[in-house]
Chain A
Amino acid sequence: MNSVNSVTTDDRTLLEIDDLTVAFGDGAGSVRAVENVALSVAAGEIYALVGESGCGKSTLAYSMLQIVPPPGRVIGGNVRFRGRDLVTMSKRELNALRGAELAMVFQGAMNAFNPVVTIGTQVDHILQAHPEVFPDPKEGRQHFEHLLELVQLPPKRIWKSFESQLSGGMKQRVAIAVALLLRPSVVILDEPTTALDVLNQRLVIDILKDLHRDLGVTIVFVTHDLAVVAEVATRVAVMYAGRLVETGTVEEIFKAERRHPYVEALINAIPSVLDAGLTVQPIGGAVPNLADLPAGCRFAPRCRLAEDLCRHTEPPLLGDGGGHLVACHVVNRDVVPMEVSKA
C-alpha cells in the first residue's frame, strides 16, 4: 500500500505532496490534522481541496507554503515545488519562493489589509521587499494596474483607497491582484468565495477562470462549497478528518459511479437552485474529534454503506487504473488492487 502514498513526477508537476503528516502539539496530546496525504498539482491546473470545517484542508494548503501556524508542524513527508523540498529548505530560500513563486490569498482576505495606509503604499512595500522581480518599481506598479483591470476594478481609485473605502467583494479581488503581483507560478486561495454574496461569488469565479486562462497561473483553492468546485476546478481532492478520501478530475468526482459515500453525502447536502436541490439530505453526525478518532474508516460512523470491515480497518486509497482514487472498502470491492502512481 505504500505505493499509494508516493507520487511520481512528470514534467508538468509543479507541487508535489508526498506522504505528508502535519501534527499539532506534542506527545500524547498531539493530533494529526493532515495524515499521510499525497497529491500532485500539475502546471495549469485548478486544483480544489474540499471538505467540511476541521477536515485539514486549510492546514494542507498552509503546508504548501510551510506556514502551518505553531504548534502545528510537519512530522513526516515532503512538499516539493519544482522538485525542491520545502520541508527541509532554509528560511531564506523559503522567503525567496513565497510571494514570488508560491502566493497565497488567505481566508477572510477582507481583513488582510493594513487599515491605516493606502492599498498603493502596501503594494509599494511588497515591490520593495522583492526588488529581484521588478528592479524598476514603476514597472511593478504598471503590472499591478493591469492586474486590477483583470479583476475588474478601477486601478487609479483602488491605488489611493484605504481598505475601509472598499466593499468586501472589492477587497477580495484586490487581495487576489496583490497575490499575483510578483508573477507567481502557483496561487493558493483559502475559501475565496466564502462570505461573499452571490454576485460577488460569480465575479470571483469568473475572474479565477480568466486569470487562469490569461496568465496561465496554476491555482489551488480550498473550499467547503462543492458548487464552486464544479464551477472552477479541473482536479479535486476531498479530505475527511485529515485523510484524503477521493481525488480525481472534477467530472470523476461528480459522476455517480464509484464515488466515496462522503462525497456523495456532501453533494446531496447542497440546497442548490436546481430541482434536485429540493430533495437535499443533511449529513448526520459531525466530523470526528481528531484526538478521538474512530477505529477503521473515519467516515464509518456517518456512512450509509458502512459494514463491519469499515469499523476496524482503514480503507486504502485505490484507483481503478486511472487517476481517480477512492478510499472506501465498499466502493472499491470490485476494484483489483493495483499499483497507483498518481494522485
Chain B
Amino acid sequence: MSLLDVRNVTHTYDTGTGRPVLHNVDLSTQEGEIVALVGESGCGKTTLGRLIAGLHEPSSGSISFEGSDIAGLKGKRRKDWRRRVQMVHQDPYGSLNPGLTIGSTLAPGMLRHKLANRRTVQAEMIKLLQQVGLDATPVFLQRYPHQLSGGQRQRVSIARAISLQPKLIVADEVTSMLDVSMRVAILDLLLSFQRDRGIGFVFISHDFGVVRYFAQGGRIAVMFYGHIVEEGPVEELIKTPSHPYTHMLLQAIPVPDPVLVRKRDAEGGGSERLTGDPSTKGCVFSNRCPLVRDVCRKEAPPLIDIGSGHRTACFFSDEIPPLKHLTADEASPQPTRS
C-alpha cells in the first residue's frame, strides 16, 4: 500500500478565469520515500503540496493517505491524519507567528495531540530544539521569531513539523530564502529525519541542484502548468531527461564553474522561449518546445512509461539531446574537496 495516492486530481482556484492549476495529476509515494516536485513559478507544485497537506480540497479527483480517502476521514481518524502529514513552508519570515515565542509556537500541537502534557512539554520542546540543532535551553523558548536568523527560524519550522511525529512532510522550497551556505545544513537536517525516522517527503523546489542532493534514491516529478510532464528516478531523470521541458530546466541551471559555463555556451542552445504561456490545444508545452511538430499542436501526449518507472508525456522523447556539460566524463576536473 502506498503512503500517499493522488488520483486524477484537478484543481481550480475561484479566480474567474476557470483555468485549472492542476490537470488530472497522478502521484504516489511509498513510506519513507522522497518525491521531488520540480517546475517553474506558477506550475502548480505548491498547490499540489497544499492539497496533499490538506490545506485545500481538490476540485475533483481523490487523495488517499495510508489507503483512506482523506475527504472521507472523520473524528479521531481525521485528527490522526492531520498529525501525520505536516508542512514546512518556504518563507521562514512569514510562517512563524511574530507574536508567539518559540515555546508558544511549539507547545500547542504537542498538547493537542497528547504527545506531551503540561508537565512534560517543556522538556519535550528542549529535546526538539536539540534535534534541530538549535540552542536547547529554556531561554531559547522565550525568544520571538524576530530575534532569530532565517536559518534558525527555518529550524523552528522544522521542529514544529517533526514535533507531531509525522509520516510525511511536505517541504515547500524550504531553502530558497536562505543563503547558499545555509542550504546544505538544512537539507542534511531534513535528511536525518528521513533516515532515522522513516519520514517521507514531498519536496518542492525549482532548483535541480538542491533536488539532486536531497532526493538521492528518490523520484522527481516535473510539472508544467498543472501537468506532470515527466516523472522518474532522480539520477536517471537528470542524466537522461526524456521531456524537452526537463531538458530546458536542466540546461538553464547556473553552473558553479566558469570552465563548464564556457563549454556549455559553445555547445549552443540559447534562452529562446524560456517563458511563455502554456498551449491550450495539444501538448501543453508545444508553444515553447524546440522539438514541436504538427501532431503536438493537435493532440496531447499521454504520460507513458518508458521503462523502470520513468514516465514522460512527449511523442518524441527519444530525440531529447543529452546534457553534455552535466555528465561526469565531460566535466572538468573538480577542485579538491575538503
Contacts and interface: CB of A to CB of B under 8 A. Distances in A.
Contacts of B75: none
A267 B256 contact: yes
A128 B191 CA distance: 56
A201 B179 contact: no
A169 B41 contact: yes
Contacts, number: 158
Interface residues of B, number: 51
Interface residues of A, number: 54
A52 B274 contact: no
Contact of B258 (A152, A224, A250, A271): A250
B187 interface: yes
A202 B252 CA distance: 5
Interface string A195-216: 1111111110110000000000
A203 B274 contact: yes
A264 B256 CA distance: 12
A231 B254 contact: yes
Interface stretch (B20-28, B107-115, B123-131, B330-338): B330-338
A29 interface: no
A203 B41 contact: no
Interface string B297-338: 000000000000000000000000000001010010011111
Contact of B255 (A199, A224, A231): A231
A278 interface: yes
A281 B326 CA distance: 20
A224 B338 contact: no
Contacts of B280: none
A314 interface: no
A168 B40 CA distance: 12
Nearest to A207: B271
B206 A269 contact: no
Contact of A282 (B184, B208, B256, B335): B184
Interface string A220-250: 0000111111110000000000000000001
B78 to A, nearest CB: 35
Contact of A198 (B188, B213, B252, B337): B252
A36 interface: no
A272 B337 contact: no
A206 B248 CA distance: 14
Contacts of A169: 41, 275
A48 to B, nearest CB: 11
B253 interface: yes
Contacts of A195: 176-177
B40 A282 contact: no
Nearest to A234: B258
Contacts of A286: 149
A276 B334 contact: yes
Interface in B237-289: 238, 248-250, 252-261, 270-271, 274-275
B84 interface: no
B209 interface: yes
10 contacts: A152-B275, A197-B41, A198-B208, A202-B254, A202-B271, A231-B261, A254-B256, A271-B207, A271-B210, A273-B250
Given A229-B256, A254-B256, A304-B338, 17 more contacts: A195-B176, A197-B41, A198-B252, A206-B270, A224-B179, A225-B180, A230-B257, A231-B254, A256-B336, A269-B180, A271-B184, A271-B214, A272-B256, A273-B250, A274-B255, A274-B257, A280-B213
